[in-house]
């Protein structure tokens, strides 16, 4: 199994006191499998994604990625994990504004020491970004920016791709195109995909679906 | 990976050159101000050292004439023949240049700074036409006098060294020596000094040069200015770095999300900053050099006028400035960046709950700052009341300035809140509220403005007070219209006979060196004359001080002696076997040692051997030129032997005008720096402010109106800051005059207020703030509507 | 500029005489010694300002109450920057005094520099007086009092001449090289001395004999001469001998000597007098020959000359070695040795 999460708990401190976001969530994901994570706002789906991506740590529970318990890793270990093993596609794209598109695509692969020029070129081509390679992110439309972010995530060939409402900032038509491209590429690279969305339509295109409510699997 | 991270970091500056410029410029300006002032100080001190080392005045005991004046050359020879290893020195001024003649064969320090490879030809030097060694400017001032001029950069500025024989001839002192240096190793079996040469007196070696001690006061003032400039600079650097970090925060977050480890990121950013600090520091040192070389001629003129200290008018670029300038830039950057890095390290990776947390943190910080400010201000007050000593003075200054700076945002906020509560009109109300909201972002720049203004008020007050005090003091001190100095007792007697029918009064000036209360003191014998009774003002005095002095029972002491010995009016002092009562204390500005005045008759009884050689002459001011001409033509006096009071006063005033030039230049510079800080803060805020301004725009305010408000806001905040700066500056001036000066030099300067100066400063400050706000306001008024609309179109 | 460099510059003549080749060997404008001199006394005991370099050079072998040997030196050098007596500070005559006392285990040295023309230093022939600062050699040339002082020693001596003046070389014309450089050179080697040495350990009454050299010239050394070794020896039988080697830069030497006995004075030209180092010592960082084999075969002299104190180094502006010696071998006695130009 590529990913196994067991009995994850996470509580945040807020101005109104502690708030239990996740209350014992478990899930599994195999390589090449795509999983939609749905639920209301505040159901804890983004938090779960962040925990799996090593952006944060659970209070209790175990997250086994390729056999490694990432909840037990330190900061540096989790940073290494984010560089090469897991790729995250954010809702706000999070591109580096001062780098050109080509450099943004290659960036994470370079960081991970897994840069493959041919693969980056192919990704840019498949994403239809070839004419935009010399541009800066601010010169692109939202859909183009998200395609850059997806290409960047896939460039180091991660084993697991996490996507947090990747099309949330895009109009429906664009969202459809972008999602298709991502699904195709994920399938081709035999990576696992975990996508947070509140769109039933998008969730329907995944192989599996997990619904969260009030911090638990419904 | 390192290379990849670096490309991301560096590319930021390529895409945002303005930010890069502000950061570098802020750092460079701070370094420039600091190193410029330091360079001026260092150059002046190097000049004193060179002057002191010309003959090793600091190292060697000296023999001088008992009653002042010159010593016959025959005395020198008989001393040598009595086994005294002494070396003759002739010294005097010619065309404004100090001429030092020495005998290289016996001088314990040899020919001092002159090197053989500099064109010294010993044959010519000793017995030929003679050689004059000096810096080019001194040689130029001297003109062609016959001897060969040899440029020698190591000779003290304004000084020319030559053989004693040449100097005697140039100065008209044939057969005379001014003083003798005593070699450290003396032979055994030498004849006692009183037997060999009763007419001379041994004067012990001095730890430092007189000039250095005299001018310490001036340099302390400059150093204080330098420190304040640096404090202002640090605020700017802090602002610039805060801005750079604030703007890169999202990128940093992205980088970390993509798997860049935090420690590596911080190391690389610190490295990047250090390189920038070095580059900016280098630019700053060069700028400082320019500032210093522009200021130095005026500073040199001031020092020469005030203290007779010769300082080179041109600057030498010394390696130590590079080092200290770069160290200051690095240190200042580290100081300013420390907080930013700490925040960066603790910044949550996920933006989630951040805004709220940040807001709470800002609130907590405001409270913390307020508490700190109160504690520091109370500490400053306590130190002001109870503290003594130089350290306490400086600590007090520090507490006062930092405390006031920290208190500023709180005070401004309260003031704005007050305005807001009194305003009913909606747009005005929005303006006040919006200004309050902007305050945290501007507070660092406003603090810098506060410090800059306070420093300027403080230094202006100090310099102007010094001018008033010093010119008043000159009126007292130079009460006679003309002063003459005789070469020997015979000439003195001749002069008195010659002058008696020509002037209203001849007041002899005699002095001796004694110890009073264990402190070296110069004691003067004063004739009981209306000149002194009328002119002299006292700091503290008994009922009829001059009567007590006239009766031979009273003594007047200067402030330095009073403060150091703890003696007050009414106390008794004993010297030369006499008990005298202190009748008054008087101000004696710029004098490093103690001084006292007793009655002329008593002085004669105590020191029968000392004949007066100096005389103050009272006469109608209009007759001075005629008397001077008569003395030169009939009595053969040289111009050096006469001091014309009116000319000295005029000269002093000229000198102070020079000082003001320096002060004004520094004022304008520090204000420019503070203005720059405001500009940068406004630019930082500009991007963040779009969402705040968009609603106002949407509700019907034009962009031009918004821009105008922006300008008005900057000027208004500057006015409020200036109002706060005035009392702070006055407190600063008071601390410098009454605490630091007393601790450092033993005399207190009275403080005067100069409202017109402050008004001018206020205008400068408003100008600086207005200019700084002009561009951001203009940019705001040109913000494309689409940018404002974006605020509504997507969630940030 | 420090005093040592200065002295080297203002005393080029002395420096050259002391073996600093290449310094001031040019005699431009100065008088040059000529053969067959006619001396005029007492005038010639006084200075000759038209010659570049001149000295009054006294060395004495003394003995304390317990038999301890002492050496004493009193020297006044005159060096002219121009051939002209002058007056006041501009007088081109410069003076340098060296005084020393040597004991078997200590050596005290001091130095004075002065300008001529202002009365601080000088020599007068009648009455005879040579002085610099508080040092003096004054009285008559035959009966004089001699004083000197330094930071750690002083002396006060009475001198009485018991014999005639001795003229070296050709009646006082002393040739210094094969190229003909020469000086005027005479001595008074017959002084009896008594007086007091003041040393750090206390005052010591001493008696003994002294040898005064008078020499003046304008170009004392040839370009290729690197230094000299000078011997003044007094033998127990009453005879005396002066001899010197002028070392050439090529390793050879030019020698000259004078044999003095109660009956007559005999000069010896190059080659008759010979001296060979026997033992070298490390003194002031240099290798100095402190024991010599000295021969004058024509008088049957073959003696070993040995320094009483190896460390008699004159650490003056122009440094050299000068100290008392003992003589053993064919003749027994004592004397003084001066060595210059050892780098």
What pLDDT tens digit does each residue of chain A (218 aa) get? 889 999 999 888 777 778 888 898 999 999 889 999 998 887 888 888 888 888 888 889 899 988 888 878 888 888 888 887 888 888 877 888 888 999 999 998 888 888 999 999 998 988 888 999 999 988 888 888 888 998 999 898 899 999 988 887 777 877 888 888 888 888 888 889 999 988 888 888 888 999 988 888 87
Closest CA relative to residue B32, chosen from B274, B283, B276:
B283
User: Mean pLDDT throughout C160-183?
Assistant: 89
pLDDT digits (tens, 9 = 90+) for B702-719: 888 888 888 888 888 888
- Contact call for A96 and B260, based on CB within 8 A: no
User: Is B259 in contact with A111 (CB distance < 8 Å)?
Assistant: yes
Question: Residues of C with CB below 8 A from B119's CB?
Answer: none
Most confident stretch, B71-85, B500-514, B597-611, B745-759: B71-85
H-helix segments, B566-644: 600-606, 624-635
Closest chain B C-alpha to A169 CA, distance in angstroms: 9
- Contact call for C1 and B103, based on CB within 8 A: no
Question: Chain centroid to CA B471: how far?
Answer: 19
User: Is B596 in contact with B515 (CB distance < 8 Å)?
Assistant: no
User: Mean pLDDT throughout B668-677?
Assistant: 73
- Contact call for B257 and A103, based on CB within 8 A: no
User: Is B748 in contact with B681 (CB distance < 8 Å)?
Assistant: no
pLDDT in the model for residue B298: 66
Query: How many beta carbons lie within 10 A of that of residue B400, not counting itself?
Result: 23
Residue the block writes with tokens 């060294």: B161
pLDDT in the model for residue A189: 84
Question: Residues of C with CB below 8 A from B129's CB?
Answer: none
Mean pLDDT for all residues in chain C:
89
Residue B360 has pLDDT above 70, yes or no: no
Closest CA relative to residue C331, chosen from C310, C307, C306, C301:
C301
Assess B500–A contact: CB distance below 8 Å, yes or no.
no
pLDDT digits (tens, 9 = 90+) for B691-702: 777 777 777 778
Closest CA relative to residue B86, chosen from B193, B227, B214:
B193
As for how many domains chain A has, the answer is 1
Assess B115–C contact: CB distance below 8 Å, yes or no.
yes
Confidence of residue C294 (pLDDT cuts 50, 70, 90): very high
Assess C29–B contact: CB distance below 8 Å, yes or no.
no
CA–CA distance, B232 with B16 (Å, rounded to integer):
25
Question: Residues of B with CB below 8 A from A12's CB?
Answer: 353
Assess C1–B contact: CB distance below 8 Å, yes or no.
yes
CATH of the domain at A62: 3.40.50.300
Assess C154–B contact: CB distance below 8 Å, yes or no.
yes
User: Is B585 in contact with B538 (CB distance < 8 Å)?
Assistant: yes
pLDDT in the model for residue C23: 37
Assess C203–B contact: CB distance below 8 Å, yes or no.
no
pLDDT digits (tens, 9 = 90+) for A159-169: 999 998 888 77
CA-based radius of gyration for chain C: 18
Predicted structure pTM score? 0.56
CA–CA distance, C343 with C339 (Å, rounded to integer):
11
Proportion of chain B above pLDDT 70, given as a percent: 80
How far is residue B122 from each of residues A78, C6, C81, C319, measured CA to CA in Å?
80, 8, 9, 21
Question: Residues of A with CB below 8 A from B263's CB?
Answer: 76
Most confident stretch, B446-450, B641-645, C90-94: C90-94
Nearest CB among B259, B349, B350 relative to A111 is that of: B259
> How many C-alpha atoms does B176 have within 13 Å on its Cβ side?
20
pLDDT in the model for residue B105: 86
Neighbouring subunits of C (3+ Cβ pairs under 8 A): B
Query: How many beta carbons lie within 10 A of that of residue B21, not counting itself?
Result: 13
- Contact call for A98 and B1, based on CB within 8 A: no
Mapped onto helix, strand or coil, the DSSP state of residue A143 is helix
H-helix segments, B316-425: 319-346, 354-386, 390-421
- Contact call for A98 and B251, based on CB within 8 A: yes
Query: How many beta carbons lie within 10 A of that of residue B371, not counting itself?
Result: 11
Lowest mean pLDDT among B258-262, B332-336, B704-708, B739-743: B739-743
Nearest CB among A79, A95, A98 relative to B260 is that of: A79
Confidence of residue C49 (pLDDT cuts 50, 70, 90): very high
CA–CA distance, B458 with B732 (Å, rounded to integer):
5
Assess C99–B contact: CB distance below 8 Å, yes or no.
no
Closest CA relative to residue C72, chosen from C122, C123, C106, C46:
C106
Q: Is A18 exposed, middle or buried (0-12, 13-18, 19+ CB in 10 A)?
A: exposed
pLDDT in the model for residue C22: 34
Closest CA relative to residue B376, chosen from B408, B328, B342:
B408
Closest chain B C-alpha to C3 CA, distance in angstroms: 5
Classify C139 in phi/psi space as left (phi over 0), alpha (psi -120 to 50) or beta: left
pLDDT in the model for residue C25: 46
Nearest CB among B15, B251, B259 relative to A80 is that of: B259
Closest chain B C-alpha to C202 CA, distance in angstroms: 12
Closest CA relative to residue C99, chosen from C130, C123, C126, C54:
C130
Neighbouring subunits of B (3+ Cβ pairs under 8 A): A, C
pLDDT in the model for residue B684: 66
User: Mean pLDDT throughout B718-741?
Assistant: 84
Lowest mean pLDDT among A26-35, B127-136, C283-292: B127-136
User: By CA distance, what is B123's nearest residue in C?
Assistant: C81
Q: What angle do CA C107, C109, C111 make, to 5 degrees?
A: 175
Q: Partners of B509 in the beta sheet?
A: B614
Structural domain of A178: 3-217
CA–CA distance, B439 with B414 (Å, rounded to integer):
11
Residue the block writes with tokens 């601390």: B735
Residue C333 has pLDDT above 80, yes or no: yes
Q: Do strands C313-314 and C301-307 pair parallel, antiparallel, or not at all (unpaired)?
A: unpaired
Proportion of chain C above pLDDT 90, given as a percent: 70
Q: Do strands C333-339 and C320-329 pair parallel, antiparallel, or not at all (unpaired)?
A: antiparallel
CA–CA distance, B213 with B281 (Å, rounded to integer):
32
H-helix segments, B610-644: 624-635
pLDDT digits (tens, 9 = 90+) for B317-358: 667 778 888 888 888 888 778 877 887 787 777 654 344 444
Question: Residues of B with CB below 8 A from A96's CB?
Answer: 8, 11, 251, 254-255
Is pLDDT larger for residue B112 or for residue B608?
B608
pLDDT digits (tens, 9 = 90+) for C250-267: 888 899 999 999 888 999
User: Mean pLDDT throughout C240-255?
Assistant: 90
Closest CA relative to residue C334, chosen from C258, C266, C241:
C241
pLDDT in the model for residue C133: 95
pLDDT in the model for residue B434: 82
Residue C307 has pLDDT above 90, yes or no: yes
Mutation site, C11, C89, C195, C315, interface B, largest B CB count within 10 A: C89
H-helix or E-strand spanning residue B617: strand B614-618
Assess B17–A contact: CB distance below 8 Å, yes or no.
no
User: Mean pLDDT throughout C182-208?
Assistant: 95
pLDDT in the model for residue C296: 95
Mean pLDDT for all residues in chain B:
78
pLDDT in the model for residue B308: 53
Q: Do strands B554-558 and B578-586 pair parallel, antiparallel, or not at all (unpaired)?
A: parallel
Mapped onto helix, strand or coil, the DSSP state of residue B611 is coil
Question: Chain centroid to CA A189: how far?
Answer: 15
User: Mean pLDDT throughout B751-780?
Assistant: 83
Mapped onto helix, strand or coil, the DSSP state of residue C235 is strand
- Contact call for C89 and B165, based on CB within 8 A: yes
Handedness of CA C115, C120, C121, C123 (dihedral sign): positive
Is pLDDT larger for residue B765 or for residue A26?
A26
How far is residue A197 from each of residues A43, A44, A191, A210, C4, measured CA to CA in Å?
12, 12, 19, 11, 94
> CATH topology for C3-25+44-339?
AttH-like fold (2.40.370)
Question: Residues of B with CB below 8 A from C113's CB?
Answer: 105-106
Query: How many beta carbons lie within 10 A of that of residue B352, not counting itself?
Result: 14
pLDDT in the model for residue C292: 97
Residue B651 has pLDDT above 70, yes or no: no
Q: Catalogue the long-range contacts made by B11-20 (C-beta closer than 8 Å, 24 or more residues apart).
A: B11/A96, B11/A98, B11/A99, B11/A103, B12/A98, B12/B248, B12/B251, B14/A98, B15/A97, B15/A98, B15/A136, B16/A98, B16/B247, B18/B683, B19/B243, B19/B244, B19/B247
Mutation site, A79, A114, A139, interface B, largest B CB count within 10 A: A79
CA–CA distance, A77 with C44 (Å, rounded to integer):
103
Chains C and A: 3 or more CB pairs within 8 Å of each other: no
Helix A101-112 × helix A117-126 angle, to 10°: 140
Nearest CB among B120, B163, B186 relative to C89 is that of: B163
Q: Partners of C260 in the beta sheet?
A: C240, C265
- Contact call for B350 and A55, based on CB within 8 A: yes
User: Mean pLDDT throughout C313-330?
Assistant: 92
Question: Residues of A with CB below 8 A from B260's CB?
Answer: 79, 83, 111
Mutation site, B249, B252, B258, B261, interface A, largest A CB count within 10 A: B258
User: Mean pLDDT throughout B89-97?
Assistant: 84
- Contact call for B353 and A96, based on CB within 8 A: no
Assess C8–B contact: CB distance below 8 Å, yes or no.
no
Neighbouring subunits of A (3+ Cβ pairs under 8 A): B
Q: Is C105 exposed, middle or buried (0-12, 13-18, 19+ CB in 10 A)?
A: exposed
User: Mean pLDDT throughout B643-658?
Assistant: 68
Nearest CB among C90, C118, C198 relative to B188 is that of: C198
User: By CA distance, what is A76's nearest residue in B?
Assistant: B261
Q: Catalogue the long-range contacts made by B487-493 (C-beta closer than 8 Å, 24 or more residues apart).
A: B487/B69, B487/B70, B487/B176, B487/B613, B487/B641, B488/B69, B488/B70, B488/B613, B489/B67, B489/B611, B489/B613, B491/B635, B492/B611, B492/B612, B492/B613, B492/B615
Is pLDDT larger for residue B266 or for residue B385?
B266
Nearest CB among A88, A97, A110 relative to B15 is that of: A97
- Contact call for B82 and C6, based on CB within 8 A: no
Q: Is B533 exposed, middle or buried (0-12, 13-18, 19+ CB in 10 A)?
A: middle
Assess B193–C contact: CB distance below 8 Å, yes or no.
no
Assess B796–A contact: CB distance below 8 Å, yes or no.
no
Give the start-to-end residue ranges of the domains of chain C. Answer: 3-25+44-339
Query: How many beta carbons lie within 10 A of that of residue A100, not counting itself?
Result: 17
**A interface residues, B as partner, C-beta within 8 Å:** 12, 14-15, 50, 55-56, 75-76, 79-84, 88, 90, 94-99, 103, 107-108, 110-113, 136, 169
Closest chain B C-alpha to C245 CA, distance in angstroms: 32
Closest chain A C-alpha to B449 CA, distance in angstroms: 33
């Amino acid at each position: 199994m590529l990913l196994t999460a067991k009995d994850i708990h996470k509580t945040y401190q807020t101005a109104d006191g502690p708030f239990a976001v996740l209350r014992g969530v478990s899930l599994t994901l195999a390589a090449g499998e795509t999983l939609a994570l749905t639920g209301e706002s505040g159901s804890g789906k983004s938090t779960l994604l962040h925990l799996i991506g090593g952006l944060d740590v659970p209070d209790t529970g175990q997250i086994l990625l390729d056999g490694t318990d990432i909840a037990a890793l330190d900061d540096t270990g989790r940073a290494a994990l984010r560089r090469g093993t897991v790729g995250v596609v954010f809702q706000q794209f999070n591109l580096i504004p001062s780098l050109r598109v080509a450099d943004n695509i290659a960036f994470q692969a370079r960081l991970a020491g897994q840069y493959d020029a041919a693969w980056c070129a192919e990704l840019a081509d498949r994403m239809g970004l070839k004419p935009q390679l010399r541009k800066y992110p601010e010169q692109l439309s939202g859909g183009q920016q998200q395609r850059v972010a997806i290409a960047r995530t896939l460039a180091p060939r991660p084993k697991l791709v996490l996507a947090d409402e990747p099309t949330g900032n895009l109009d429906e038509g664009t969202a459809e195109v972008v999602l298709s491209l991502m699904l195709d590429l994920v399938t081709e690279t035999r990576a696992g995909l975990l996508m947070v969305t509140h769109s039933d339509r998008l969730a329907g295109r995944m192989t599996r679906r997990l619904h969260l409510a009030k911090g638990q699997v419904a | 990976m390192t290379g990849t991270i670096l490309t991301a970091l560096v590319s930021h500056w390529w895409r945002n050159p303005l930010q890069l410029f502000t950061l570098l410029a802020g750092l460079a300006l701070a370094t420039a101000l600091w190193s410029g002032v330091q360079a001026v100080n260092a150059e002046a001190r190097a000049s004193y050292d060179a002057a002191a080392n010309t003959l090793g005045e600091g190292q060697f005991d000296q023999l001088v004439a008992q009653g002042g004046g010159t010593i016959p050359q025959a005395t020198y020879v008989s001393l040598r023949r009595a086994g005294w290893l002494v070396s003759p020195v002739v010294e005097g001024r010619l065309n404004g240049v100090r001429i030092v003649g020495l005998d290289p064969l016996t001088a314990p320090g040899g020919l001092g700074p002159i090197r053989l490879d500099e064109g010294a030809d010993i044959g010519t030097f000793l017995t030929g036409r003679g050689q004059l060694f000096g810096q080019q400017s001194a040689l130029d001032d001297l003109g062609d006098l016959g001897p060969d001029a040899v440029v020698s950069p190591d000779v003290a500025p304004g000084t020319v060294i030559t053989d004693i024989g040449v100097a005697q001839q140039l100065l008209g002192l044939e057969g005379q020596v001014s003083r003798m240096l005593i070699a450290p190793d003396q032979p055994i079996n030498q004849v006692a000094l009183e037997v060999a040469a009763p007419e001379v007196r041994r004067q012990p070696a001095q730890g430092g040069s007189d000039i250095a001690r005299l001018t310490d006061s001036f340099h302390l003032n400059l150093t204080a200015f330098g420190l304040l400039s640096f404090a202002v600079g640090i605020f700017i650097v802090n602002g610039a770095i805060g801005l750079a970090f604030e703007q890169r925060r999202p990128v940093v977050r992205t980088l970390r999300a993509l798997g860049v480890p935090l420690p590596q990121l911080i190391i690389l950013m610190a490295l990047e900053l250090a390189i920038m600090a070095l580059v900016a520091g280098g630019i700053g040192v060069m700028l400082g050099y320019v500032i210093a070389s522009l200021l130095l001629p005026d500073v040199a003129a001031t020092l020469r006028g005030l203290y007779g200290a010769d300082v080179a008018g041109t600057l030498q670029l010394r390696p130590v400035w590079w080092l200290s300038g770069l160290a200051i830039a690095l240190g200042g950057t580290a100081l300013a960046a420390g907080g930013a890095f700490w925040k960066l390290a603790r910044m949550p990776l996920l933006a989630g709950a951040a805004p709220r947390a940040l807001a709470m943190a800002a609130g907590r910080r405001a409270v913390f700052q307020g508490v700190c400010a109160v504690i520091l201000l109370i500490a400053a007050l306590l130190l002001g009341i109870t503290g003594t000593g130089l350290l306490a003075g400086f600590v007090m200054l520090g507490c006062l300035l930092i405390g006031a700076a920290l208190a500023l945002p709180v005070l401004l906020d309260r003031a704005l809140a007050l305005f807001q509560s009194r305003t009913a009109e909606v747009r005005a109300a929005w303006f006040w509220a919006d200004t309050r909201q902007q305050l945290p972002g501007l507070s660092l720049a406003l603090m810098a403005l506060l410090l800059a203004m306070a420093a300027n008020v403080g230094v202006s007050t100090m310099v102007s007070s010094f001018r008033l005090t010093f010119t008043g003091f000159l009126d007292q001190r130079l009460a006679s219209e003309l002063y003459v100095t005789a070469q020997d007792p015979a000439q003195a007697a001749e002069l008195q006979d010659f002058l008696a029918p020509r002037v209203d009064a001849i007041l002899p000036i005699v002095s001796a060196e004694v110890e009073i209360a264990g402190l070296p003191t110069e004691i003067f014998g004063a004739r009981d004359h209306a000149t002194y009774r009328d002119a002299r003002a006292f700091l503290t005095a008994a009922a009829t001080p001059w009567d007590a002095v006239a009766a031979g029972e009273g003594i007047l002491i200067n402030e330095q002696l009073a403060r150091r010995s703890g003696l007050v009016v009414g106390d008794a002092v004993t010297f030369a076997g006499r008990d005298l009562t202190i009748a008054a204390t008087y101000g004696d500005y710029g004098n490093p040692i103690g001084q006292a005045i007793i009655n002329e008759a008593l002085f004669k009884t105590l020191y029968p051997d000392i004949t007066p050689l100096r005389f103050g002459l009272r006469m109608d001011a209009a007759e001075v030129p005629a008397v001077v001409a008569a003395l030169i033509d009939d009595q053969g006096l040289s111009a050096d032997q006469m001091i014309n009071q009116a000319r000295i006063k005029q000269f002093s005033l000229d000198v102070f005008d020079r000082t003001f030039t320096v002060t004004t230049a520094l004022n304008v510079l520090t204000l420019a720096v503070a203005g720059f800080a405001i500009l940068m803060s406004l630019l930082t805020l500009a991007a963040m402010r779009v969402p705040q301004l968009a609603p106002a725009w949407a509700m019907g305010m034009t962009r031009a109106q918004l821009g105008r408000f922006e300008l008005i806001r900057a000027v208004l905040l500057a006015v409020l800051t200036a109002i706060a700066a005035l009392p702070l500056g006055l407190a600063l001036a008071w601390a410098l005059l009454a605490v630091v000066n007393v601790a450092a030099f033993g005399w207190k300067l009275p403080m005067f207020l100069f409202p017109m100066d402050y008004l001018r400063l206020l205008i400068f400050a408003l100008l600086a703030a207005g200019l700084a706000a002009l561009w951001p306001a203009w940019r705001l008024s040109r913000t494309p509507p689409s940018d404002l609309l974006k605020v509504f179109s997507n969630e940030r | 500029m420090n005093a040592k460099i200065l002295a080297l510059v203002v005393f080029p003549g002395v420096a050259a005489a002391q073996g600093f080749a290449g310094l001031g060997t040019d005699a431009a404008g100065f008088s040059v010694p000529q053969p067959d001199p006619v001396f005029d006394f007492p005038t010639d005991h006084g200075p000759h300002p038209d010659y570049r370099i001149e000295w009054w050079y006294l060395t004495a072998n003394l003995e304390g109450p317990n038999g301890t040997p002492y050496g004493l030196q009193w020297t006044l050098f005159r060096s002219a920057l121009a051939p002209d007596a002058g007056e006041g500070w501009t007088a081109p005559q410069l003076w340098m005094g060296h005084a020393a006392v040597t004991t078997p285990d200590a050596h005290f040295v001091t130095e004075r520099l002065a300008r001529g023309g202002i009365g601080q230093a000088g020599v007068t022939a009648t009455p005879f007086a040579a002085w610099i600062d508080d040092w003096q050699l004054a009285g008559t040339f035959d009966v004089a009092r001699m004083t000197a002082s330094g930071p750690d020693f002083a002396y006060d001596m009475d001198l009485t001449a018991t014999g005639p003046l001795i003229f070296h070389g050709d009646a006082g014309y002393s040739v210094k090289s094969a190229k003909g450089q020469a000086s005027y050179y005479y001595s008074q080697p017959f002084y009896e001395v008594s007086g007091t040495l003041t040393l750090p350990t206390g005052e010591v009454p001493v008696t003994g004999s002294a040898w005064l050299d008078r020499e003046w010239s304008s170009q004392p050394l040839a370009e290729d001469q690197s230094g000299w070794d000078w011997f003044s020896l007094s033998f127990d039988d009453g005879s005396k001998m002066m001899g010197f080697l002028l070392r050439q830069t090529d390793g050879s030497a030019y020698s000259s000597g004078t044999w003095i006995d109660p009956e007559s004075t005999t000069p010896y030209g190059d080659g008759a007098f010979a001296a060979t180092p026997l033992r070298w010592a490390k003194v002031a960082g240099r290798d100095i020959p402190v024991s010599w084999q000295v021969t004058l075969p024509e008088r049957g002299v073959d003696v070993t000359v040995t320094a009483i104190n190896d460390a008699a180094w004159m650490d003056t502006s122009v440094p050299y070695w000068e100290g008392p010696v003992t003589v053993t071998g064919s003749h027994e006695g004592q004397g003084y040795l001066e060595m210059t130009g050892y780098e």
